[in-house]
Chains A and B, each alone.
Chain A
């Protein structure tokens, strides 16, 4: 199927299931850092591939990108993007960080952020899977700390093979007293999108 055949009804349904998914992810993250995390109602956007970097706040913004594949009954890509400052704040909650001069991340910090990605993605997919009566599991996370444009083109490549549109499920989460924000992107494969829509009862 093609993304451009999706109607407003389909997008609403996707928004609803994503809402439940990200709520679980936020709960998991709150427990991990011992602090409440609130989140925005997810936006479900259909966008041209060439415009996706703008959704991340510009191609040159320095971000931590945690990438996982969605595996199981439906396939796709998950990308969690944290602005550099938010990633460092998260880390300060998770690890005793010495005031390092360099802007690069240590092995331990990379590992901790991957674990955050893993927890967010697992919670999201678990909720989505339960709702759909399907099995969805995340792959092992990989991480990149670089310009947003460079981090996401990797994900766009797969989408670019099947069309010019990307379906982006985007949400932002915020910490209670300090600003920790990030974005969660689910980019389902076009074939898997059909499976997801059928499972949530809005078939094409």
Chain B
């Protein structure tokens, strides 16, 4: 029996096969998946914001911010016996849920989240092998740590496989 683990907003989790990591209802948030195909271990994050904007969150780094999530995931995967040079990454989410009328206040947050994720991956030297980002609809992810495959579900759309 595979274990299903759900990842909430601003959280990340690490799991090994046969576990399945799920996250529901990604809008402008971004889902970052890292996978070690040899150790059959992966990590999934559901990040909210690209980077902190003001002096805040003295509580330290969290997966709330895309810019930090990758570092935290790599750290945790390392502890679980993954080799960083084997990791590959997949991204999903970063949509624009409402019409662009309000965009000025959020500055295309979905796009900025995706950009921040790409930058963080590049900084850590992790290749981005697949992504399903942008658009104007929400996504739910199902990350199978046995195969590294991510099923992307959206309303009124066929299931996508990353």
Cα distance A158–B95 in the bound complex, in angstroms: 16
Are A140 and B49 within 8 A (Cβ)?
no
Q: Which residues of B contact A59 (CB under 8 A)?
A: 24-25, 140
Is A162 close to B, CB under 8 A? yes
Are A103 and B156 within 8 A (Cβ)?
yes
Q: How far is the CB of A110 from chain B (nearest CB, A)?
A: 10
Chain A residue at minimum C-beta to C-beta distance from B7: A50
Cα distance A49–B65 in the bound complex, in angstroms: 13
Are A49 and B53 within 8 A (Cβ)?
no
Q: Which of B26, B99, B136, B155 has the most CB of A within 10 A?
A: B155
Is A138 close to B, CB under 8 A? no
Question: For window 155-172 of chain A, which residues contact chain B by CB distance below 8 Å?
Answer: 156-158, 160-164
Interface 9-residue window, one of B33-41, B76-84, B100-108, B118-126 = B100-108
Question: For window 138-160 of chain A, which residues contact chain B by CB distance below 8 Å?
Answer: 139-140, 142-154, 156-158, 160
Are A157 and B24 within 8 A (Cβ)?
no
Are A154 and B26 within 8 A (Cβ)?
no
Are A49 and B98 within 8 A (Cβ)?
no
Are B25 and A149 within 8 A (Cβ)?
yes
Are A53 and B27 within 8 A (Cβ)?
no
Cα distance A53–B23 in the bound complex, in angstroms: 12
Residue-wise interface mask of B (46-59) relative to A, using a CB-CB cutoff of 8 A (1 in contact, 0 not): 00110011101100
Q: Which residues of B contact A146 (CB under 8 A)?
A: 27, 97, 137-138, 155
Q: Which residues of A contact B10 (CB under 8 A)?
A: 49-50, 160, 164
Cα distance A99–B64 in the bound complex, in angstroms: 43
Q: Which residues of A contact B26 (CB under 8 A)?
A: 149-150, 153
Are A69 and B102 within 8 A (Cβ)?
yes
Chain A residue at minimum C-beta to C-beta distance from B49: A160
Contact of A161 among B53, B97, B99 (CB under 8 A): B53
Is B109 close to A, CB under 8 A? yes
Cα distance A153–B10 in the bound complex, in angstroms: 11
Are B138 and A150 within 8 A (Cβ)?
yes
Q: Which residues of A contact B49 (CB under 8 A)?
A: 157, 160-161
Are B137 and A150 within 8 A (Cβ)?
yes
Is A62 close to B, CB under 8 A? yes
Q: How far is the CB of B43 from chain A (nearest CB, A)?
A: 17
Residue-wise interface mask of A (176-196) relative to B, using a CB-CB cutoff of 8 A (1 in contact, 0 not): 000000000000000000000
Is A104 close to B, CB under 8 A? yes
Q: Which residues of B contact A85 (CB under 8 A)?
A: none
Are B155 and A62 within 8 A (Cβ)?
yes
Q: Which residues of A contact B20 (CB under 8 A)?
A: none
Q: How far is the CB of A70 from chain B (nearest CB, A)?
A: 12
Q: Which of B48, B49, B53, B138 has the most CB of A within 10 A?
A: B138
Is A173 close to B, CB under 8 A? no
Q: How far is the CB of A107 from chain B (nearest CB, A)?
A: 12
Contact of A156 among B9, B24, B139 (CB under 8 A): B9
Is B144 close to A, CB under 8 A? no
A-B contact pairs, 28 of them (CB 8 A): A50-B8, A53-B25, A58-B24, A59-B24, A59-B140, A139-B102, A140-B101, A146-B138, A147-B27, A147-B155, A148-B25, A149-B24, A149-B27, A150-B25, A150-B138, A151-B25, A151-B97, A153-B9, A153-B27, A153-B29, A153-B48, A153-B97, A154-B106, A156-B48, A157-B48, A157-B49, A158-B105, A163-B57
Ranked 7 nearest A-B pairs via Cβ: A149-B25, A150-B138, A150-B27, A59-B25, A59-B24, A142-B98, A147-B25
